[in-house]
């Protein structure tokens, strides 16, 4: 297991009705080590989703490369989109099984459902689920493929606070059992501190990395709201280059 | 509770009552006119029974149904494939759109005549004529459905490496299903009307051929008997095939 390197020299986009392409991402480089949970923090609209789509291979129109241990192979991706994007005409379980090879053991799906507390709704169609539950299904689906990189695009947005906390805790338990490389996009600094090994602060458009920083709080101390708040204040007051972005 | 139950019981009877009323009106007019060009329901029922017992009606109905199933299947398969292609590719659509408009507006009768002239009075010409009449319809409907496909779900399928077969089966097809069902319903109604003309003009069996024969003999009772048989069969297809298909495909909806 080696690192995945993401290099994007230049990504432009053509706004509707314009003839000149505007830069969206410039000189972006990021290393994802095995088992590392990285949070991307930046102002909304700075191009985070564009970045994730490039890494996921959905957007091929850019100058740069995604390097994995095996040359010339793109990394296997698990993607938790902002909306769960479940197939409404397939049950929860079918939605998960669809992303798997036919050889994948059924016990793995059972185990994942159990961990995310969804066993009782596995044969239900997604339209009957709450948003929090749908998000959990989407998280299971992303973990189930054993990804080289797990992309998460603000997966807790528009959940109420208690639900968001519950899903976040379930995610952490799952990730500690199956520590894939995670690239997690958020604009909520508290959430980022609670989850990440490493914070990556991004500038407004055109997007680039402003600063990378390890989170100095131990994993078992992340439920301590005071410690998280203290680190947040320290970031805000101690680093003028990023305080403007938060 | 009482009056409501009586009312719903009455409502359940309404379809039967309306059929009886229609028959009664028919009977009244037939008795009043008293002409062999409008036989009574009883006379038609008798002819219907005899046509069934002699095997004549089942044979010709079977021939027509076989043509219907063949041409319908070909038109739906080809139409769906072309419709998906045109819905996915803007260039292809821009090129073939005019063709579609032309074929949509060619009268059914013209296609039928041309097919017979060019291919001769053969079975394949008859089938081809029906397919050409139905095809543009299916293409247009499926194309609309394809344009309305959810790009988010397609992206999801791509990033999870679904591949062509899985994407078609689990992502695209369920979204197209309502459009294909619409094309199926309108298609069956259209095709069976066209088929009768095709048979009338160039085949020596089938419902259309028989009706033509009865017309020459001014045998209205037989015409009505065959019509009733056909309407019943079409309704059975709706009830026994299309409705259950709809139900299974829509089971995920709230």
The DSSP output letter for A197 is S
Kindly report, residue by residue over A176-191, the tens digit of the pLDDT: 999 999 999 988 888 8
- The answer to whether the CB of A136 falls within 8 A of the CB of A181 is no
pLDDT exceeds 50 at position B209: yes
Would you state the pLDDT for residue A242? Answer: 74
Write down the architecture of domain B44-248 according to CATH. Orthogonal Bundle (1.10)
The partner residues of A65 in beta bridges, in order of sequence, read A7
Q: Do B152 and A87 touch (CB under 8 A)?
A: no
pLDDT over 90 percentage in chain B: 69
Q: Please give the angle made by the CA atoms of B171, B174 and B179, to the nearest 5 degrees.
A: 125
pLDDT exceeds 70 at position A82: yes
Kindly report, residue by residue over B97-128, the tens digit of the pLDDT: 999 999 999 999 999 999 999 999 999 999 99
Would you state the pLDDT for residue B254? Answer: 67
Kindly report, residue by residue over B135-158, the tens digit of the pLDDT: 999 999 999 999 999 999 999 999
Going edge to edge, which strands form the sheet with A22-32?
A22-32, A4-13, A63-67
Q: Concatenated DSSP letters for B42-72?
A: HHHHHHHHHHHHHTHHHHHHHHHHHHHHHHH
- The answer to whether the CB of A79 falls within 8 A of the CB of A111 is no
Residue of B nearest to A141 (CA): B160
pLDDT over 70 percentage in chain B: 97
Across chain B, what does the average pLDDT equal?
90
| Host H or E run for residue A135 | helix A131-144
- Closest by Cβ to B174, choosing from A77, A89, A91: A89
Q: Tell the residue number behind the tokens 């909806």, with chain if given.
A: B253
Sort out which chain A residues have CB atoms less than 8 A from B249's CB and list them: 89
Would you state the pLDDT for residue B109? Answer: 92
Among the ranges given (A148-152, A200-204, B4-8), the one the predictor scored with the smallest mean pLDDT: B4-8
C-alpha B216/C-alpha B221 separation (Å) is 13
Would you state the pLDDT for residue B1? Answer: 47
pLDDT exceeds 80 at position B35: yes
C-alpha A234/C-alpha A241 separation (Å) is 13
Listed by start position, the domains of chain B span: 44-248
Q: Do B159 and A79 touch (CB under 8 A)?
A: yes
Phi, psi of A180 (to 5 degrees): -85, 165
Please list the alpha-helical segments (H only) found in chain B: 2-33, 41-54, 56-88, 90-105, 108-119, 123-147, 151-159, 163-166, 173-202, 207-217, 220-237, 243-249
Tell whether A125 lies on the interface with B, counting CB pairs under 8 A: yes
C-alpha B215/C-alpha B226 separation (Å) is 12
Outline where DSSP puts E strands in chain A.
4-13, 22-32, 37-41, 63-67, 77-80, 149-153, 181-186, 198-202, 209-214
- The answer to whether the CB of A1 falls within 8 A of the CB of A34 is yes
Sort out which chain A residues have CB atoms less than 8 A from B159's CB and list them: 56-58, 77, 79
Average pLDDT for A145-174: 90
The DSSP output letter for A76 is P
pLDDT exceeds 50 at position B61: yes
Average pLDDT for A205-212: 85
Q: How confident is the model at residue B3 (pLDDT cuts 50, 70, 90)?
A: low
Q: How confident is the model at residue B129 (pLDDT cuts 50, 70, 90)?
A: very high
Would you state the pLDDT for residue A152? Answer: 94
CA-nearest of B215, B224, B169 to B30 is B224
Chain B: give the shortest CA distance to residue A98, in Å. Answer: 8
Residue of B nearest to A123 (CA): B252
Among the ranges given (A11-15, B82-86, B223-227), the one the predictor scored with the smallest mean pLDDT: A11-15
pLDDT exceeds 90 at position B36: no
Chain A: give the shortest CA distance to residue B155, in Å. Answer: 7
Domains and CATH numbers, chain A: 4-46+76-239 (3.40.50.300)
Among the ranges given (A78-82, A126-130, A225-229), the one the predictor scored with the smallest mean pLDDT: A225-229
Q: Do A58 and B252 touch (CB under 8 A)?
A: no
Q: How confident is the model at residue B188 (pLDDT cuts 50, 70, 90)?
A: confident
DSSP helix/strand/coil, A145: coil
Average pLDDT for B50-79: 94
The ipTM estimated for the assembled molecules is: 0.88
For residue B102, give both structure tokens: 């032309």
Across chain A, what does the average pLDDT equal?
87
Kindly report, residue by residue over A51-73, the tens digit of the pLDDT: 999 999 888 888 888 888 777 77
- The answer to whether the CB of A154 falls within 8 A of the CB of A187 is yes
pLDDT exceeds 80 at position A171: yes
pLDDT exceeds 90 at position A103: no
Chain B: give the shortest CA distance to residue A163, in Å. Answer: 23
Sort out which chain B residues have CB atoms less than 8 A from A57's CB and list them: 158-159
Residue of A nearest to B150 (CA): A85
Would you state the pLDDT for residue A40? Answer: 92
CA-nearest of A186, A202, A195, A154 to A29 is A202
Higher pLDDT, A240 or B50: B50
pLDDT over 90 percentage in chain A: 38
The pairing of beta strand A77-80 with beta strand A22-32: unpaired
Residue of B nearest to A94 (CA): B170
For residue A60, give both structure tokens: 């091929």
pLDDT exceeds 90 at position B4: no
- Maximum average pLDDT range among A20-24, A46-50, A129-133: A129-133
Would you state the pLDDT for residue B5? Answer: 63
Would you state the pLDDT for residue A159? Answer: 87
Phi, psi of A80 (to 5 degrees): -100, 105
CA-nearest of A84, A87, A133, A86 to A113 is A133
Q: How confident is the model at residue A245 (pLDDT cuts 50, 70, 90)?
A: low
* Residue B31 to residues A230, B124, B217, B227, Cα–Cα distance (Å): 98, 45, 22, 21
For residue B142, give both structure tokens: 């499926």
């Amino acid at each position: 297991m080696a690192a995945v390197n993401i290099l994007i020299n230049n990504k432009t986009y053509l706004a509707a009705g314009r003839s000149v392409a505007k830069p969206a991402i410039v000189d972006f480089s990021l290393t994802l080590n095995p088992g590392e949970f990285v949070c991307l923090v930046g102002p909304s609209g700075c191009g985070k989703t564009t970045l994730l789509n490039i890494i996921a291979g959905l957007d091929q129109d850019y100058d740069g490369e995604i390097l994995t241990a095996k040359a010339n192979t793109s990394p296997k991706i698990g993607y938790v989109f902002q909306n769960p994007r479940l197939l409404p005409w397939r049950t929860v379980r079918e939605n998960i099984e669809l992303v798997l090879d036919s050889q994948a053991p059924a016990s793995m799906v059972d185990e994942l459902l159990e961990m995310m507390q969804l066993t009782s709704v596995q044969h239900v169609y997604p339209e009957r689920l709450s948003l929090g539950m749908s998000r959990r299904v989407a998280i299971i689906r992303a973990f189930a493929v054993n990804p080289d990189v797990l992309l998460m695009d603000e997966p807790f947005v528009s959940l109420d606070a208690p639900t968001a906390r519950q899903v976040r805790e379930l995610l952490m338990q799952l990730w500690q059992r199956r520590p894939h490389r995670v690239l997690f996009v958020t604009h909520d600094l508290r959430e980022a501190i609670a989850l990440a090994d490493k914070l990556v602060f991004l500038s407004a458009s055109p997007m680039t990395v402003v600063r990378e920083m390890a989170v100095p709080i131990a994993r078992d101390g992340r439920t301590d709201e005071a410690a998280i708040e203290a680190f947040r204040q320290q970031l805000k007051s101690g680093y003028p280059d990023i305080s403007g972005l938060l | 509770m009482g009056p409501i139950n009586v009312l719903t019981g009455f409502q359940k009877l309404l379809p039967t009552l309306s059929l009886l009323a229609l028959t009664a009106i028919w009977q009244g007019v037939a008795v009043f006119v008293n002409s062999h060009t409008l036989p009574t329901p009883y006379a038609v029922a008798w002819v219907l029974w005899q046509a069934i017992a002699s095997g004549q009606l089942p044979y010709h109905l079977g021939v027509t149904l076989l043509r219907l199933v063949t041409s319908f299947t070909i038109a739906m398969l080809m139409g769906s494939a072309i419709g998906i292609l045109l819905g996915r590719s803007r260039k292809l659509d821009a090129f073939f759109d005019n063709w579609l408009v032309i074929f949509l507006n060619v009268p059914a009768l013209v296609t039928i005549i041309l097919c017979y002239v060019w291919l001769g009075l053969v079975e394949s010409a008859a089938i081809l004529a029906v397919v050409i009449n139905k095809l543009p319809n299916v293409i247009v409907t499926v194309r609309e459905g394809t344009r309305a496909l959810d790009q988010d779900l397609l992206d999801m399928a791509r990033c999870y490496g679904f591949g062509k077969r899985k994407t078609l089966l689990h992502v695209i097809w369920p979204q197209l299903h309502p459009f294909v069902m619409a094309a199926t319903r309108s298609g069956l109604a259209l095709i069976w009307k066209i088929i009768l003309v095709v048979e009338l003009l160039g085949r020596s069996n089938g419902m259309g051929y028989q009706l033509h024969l009865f017309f020459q003999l001014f045998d209205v009772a037989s015409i009505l008997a065959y019509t009733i048989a056909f309407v019943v069969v079409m309704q059975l297809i709706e009830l026994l095939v299309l409705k259950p298909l709809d139900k299974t495909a829509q089971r995920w909806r709230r």
